[in-house]
Amino acid sequence: MSVASTTHKHLLKDMTFLEFQDRLTEDPVILVSLGSQEEQGPVAPMGDYMLTDVLAGRIAQKSGAIAAPIIPFGYADYFRTVPGGVQLRAETFVAVLTDIIENFTDHGISKIVILNGHSGNYPLIDQVIRNIKREQGLLIPCLNLWRLIPAAMWQELHPDLGMKAFGHGGDPLTSVYLHLFPELMRMDLLSHEEKKGDLLGLPTAGLAGIRFRDSEVALAVDVTDRCGNGIAGGAPEHSSAEKGEKIATYLVDYCSDFITHFATQNPRTETKKNGSLRT
């Protein structure tokens, strides 16, 4: 378990530029957090980035890292059909994340960790961190927050469902919302997934395709193609604040321990821009 110093500010937004400049002598880890503004079913607010933002602050405080302000908007085009969401184009997301990271690397900062609170962001994050590795020889890890929960914990929290409890409009986000923001929840609107009809005469498979025989075929599915109430595979009736607290505690501990380890490593690679080994 990692232990952070209590003498340092841990949120970049709270620092003066002189305070941040002083911290650079410690070779700190910068935590860059990403979330999304998207529907989360009828019971939870759309700003799921709020959850990642709270956890990022706790992780930075515990690990001694510095948390940059969160990017609240992500890439999730399959939610664009629901009003209230704010979705970035792929090229916009890549440009924004690249610009943010380069604002740190331009000042010689090399220890950067991405905390991704929306799984749909990751294919574009992968493009960014591969480009930076190729261009700058810098390795930037990405912690895909909600995918870090191990199977054993899912089984502990949901003995009858296990990992099947993972779903949009349900856990883990609904339980973490109930723990962190109970005053924003509308449990009076609790419902089950309202499944819609097929596409091309076939059932949808998540939000990425349709199922033909025993396999999935990729297709541009929107959440409103799959369901009528924003619940896509989730079961919010099984969520609770107690489960959310256990999930939040686990994620803060795991991410803090990873950052503590990463802080001792050299993220510089021994590759040229073309990917060949240096001699």
pTM over 0.75, yes/no: yes
State yes or no: pLDDT of 274 exceeds 80.
no
At CA 100, angle to CA 50 and CA 133, rounded to 5?
A: 115
Radius of gyration of the chain (CA): 20
Distance of CA 104 to the CA centre of its chain: 20
Superfamily in which the 12-150+248-262 domain is placed by CATH: Creatininase (3.40.50.10310)
Task: Tell me the pLDDT tens digit for each residue of 201-222.
Answer: 999 988 989 999 999 999 999 9
pLDDT confidence bin for 169, thresholds 50/70/90: very high
Residue spans of the domains in the chain: they are 12-150+248-262
pLDDT of residue 1: 42
State yes or no: pLDDT of 242 exceeds 90.
yes
Helix (H) or strand (E) holding 66: strand 66-67
Task: Name residues whose C-beta falls within 8 Å of residue 167's C-beta, 6 or more positions apart in sequence.
Answer: 231, 232, 233, 234, 235
Over range 8-15, report the average pLDDT: 95
pLDDT confidence bin for 6, thresholds 50/70/90: very low
Whether the Cβ atoms of residue 95 and residue 47 lie closer than 8 Å to each other: no
Q: Tell me the residue ranges of DSSP E strands in 122-276.
A: 142-144, 204-205, 209-212, 215-218
